[in-house]
């Protein structure tokens, strides 16, 4: 099954406002909940406020991606299944999306719970819709005989590791393992130069970035199984927005429908490659969304 996006799940076209200017001005300001003046999307002449906002996080969400990316496609499909007309907009920066959510300009935001402070979390109701995974990757030319592990962090204690700054390393820290931190470019260079043995990369985003920037290296990065961690993604519904309750009810209904009819797994395959184990993808979702079946 190959779902399509219907008018019931309208993804709004890039707004006519000068978003790059909005992002620049907002980047020069403090956090989205500070008292200093903020740049609101409506100030740049958006013809219709979005019901749901996301922010650029390729390949999960992006204004230039097919159907605005995997995350937006799943959210849109859920609303479509529930026959709920919504406008979903991908903003150029996370602070803009947070501003829209926290100031009740949008009823919901697509993102992570850790995008919000503890105080801000109390103002939303999260609904999980996707669980991404991350894994350890090694550079095949450096390890001709390969590497392996069973999932026990202690097995990596003699290797040099690198991760992105925001990855959850608590299980590894408890095992006395520390990892250097860097962006994707730094981690890839570290693998190629043998400064690190393993790089912890988000599976979908990491592979997308490597294929986009270093296509000649993509086949040289070997993924160790099982996954090293998992990360849930949510639609964060505002408790203050007047339409949030109605939209949340539709989203919950729609998610149940697309999981049952197979559209959910079809979307994962379409945007993220064929799932080696569809049951694993659903099991991960159930950990954060017990109603998923």
Instruction: List where CATH 3.40.190.10 sits in the chain.
Output: 9-131+234-288, 133-229
Q: What is the second-level CATH architecture of the domain 9-131+234-288?
A: 3-Layer(aba) Sandwich (3.40)
Spelled out in words, what is the top-level CATH class assigned to the domain 133-229?
alpha beta
Q: pLDDT (tens digit, 9 = 90+) per residue, 269-283?
A: 888 765 556 678 899
Identify the CA nearest to 241 among candidates 110, 106, 147: 106
More confident: 49 or 7: 49
Identify the CA nearest to 7 among candidates 82, 80, 90: 80
Q: Please say whether the beta carbons of 198 and 136 come within 8 A.
A: yes
- What's phi and psi for 166, nearest 5 deg? -100, 10
Average pLDDT of the residues in 253-272: 92
Q: How far is it, in rounded angstroms, from Cα 50 to Cα 180? A: 39
Sign of CA dihedral 142, 146, 152, 155: negative
Average pLDDT of the residues in 243-264: 97
State the residue for tokens 């393992």. Answer: 177
Q: pLDDT (tens digit, 9 = 90+) per residue, 22-31?
A: 444 444 444 4
Q: What is the pTM of this model?
A: 0.78
Q: What's the residue count for the chain?
A: 293
Task: Please report the pLDDT score of residue 292 as a whole number.
Answer: 61
Cα Rg of the chain (Å, integer)? 20
Q: How far is it, in rounded angstroms, from Cα 197 to Cα 159? A: 6
- Judging by beta carbons within 10 Å of its beta carbon (0-12, 13-18, 19+), is residue 152 exposed, middle or buried? exposed
Q: How far is it, in rounded angstroms, from Cα 138 to Cα 149? A: 12
Q: pLDDT (tens digit, 9 = 90+) per residue, 184-201?
A: 889 989 998 999 999 998
Question: Which residues have a Cβ under 8 Å from the Cβ of 266 and sit 6 or more positions away?
Answer: 1, 2, 3
């Amino acid at each position: 099954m190959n779902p399509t996006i219907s008018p019931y799940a309208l993804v709004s076209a890039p707004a006519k406002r000068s978003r790059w200017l909005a992002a620049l001005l907002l980047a020069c300001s403090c956090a989205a909940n500070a008292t200093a003046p903020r740049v609101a999307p409506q100030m740049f002449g958006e013809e219709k406020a979005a019901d749901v906002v996301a922010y650029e996080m390729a390949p999960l969400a992006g204004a230039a991606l097919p159907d605005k990316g995997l995350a937006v496609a799943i959210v849109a499909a859920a609303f479509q299944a529930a026959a709920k007309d919504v406008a979903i907009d991908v903003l150029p920066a996370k602070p803009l999306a947070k501003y829209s959510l926290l100031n009740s300009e949008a009823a919901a935001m697509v993102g992570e719970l850790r995008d919000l402070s503890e105080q801000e979390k109390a103002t939303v109701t999260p609904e999980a819709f996707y669980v991404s995974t991350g894994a350890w990757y090694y550079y095949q030319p450096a390890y001709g005989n390969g590497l392996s592990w069973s999932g026990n962090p202690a097995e990596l204690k003699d290797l040099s590791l690198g991760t992105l700054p925001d990855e959850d390393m608590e299980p590894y820290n408890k095992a006395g393992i520390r990892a250097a931190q860097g962006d994707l470019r730094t981690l890839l260079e570290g693998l190629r130069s043998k400064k690190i043995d393993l790089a912890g990369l988000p599976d979908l985003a990491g592979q997308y970035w490597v294929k986009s920037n270093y296509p000649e290296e993509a086949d040289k990065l070997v993924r160790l199984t099982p996954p090293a961690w998992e990360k849930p993604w949510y639609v964060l519904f505002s408790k203050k927005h007047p339409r949030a309750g109605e939209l949340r009810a539709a989203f919950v209904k729609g998610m149940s429908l697309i999981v049952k009819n197979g559209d959910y797994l079809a979307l994962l395959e379409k945007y993220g490659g064929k799932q080696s184990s569809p049951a694993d993808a659903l099991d991960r979702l159930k950990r954060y969304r017990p109603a998923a079946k």
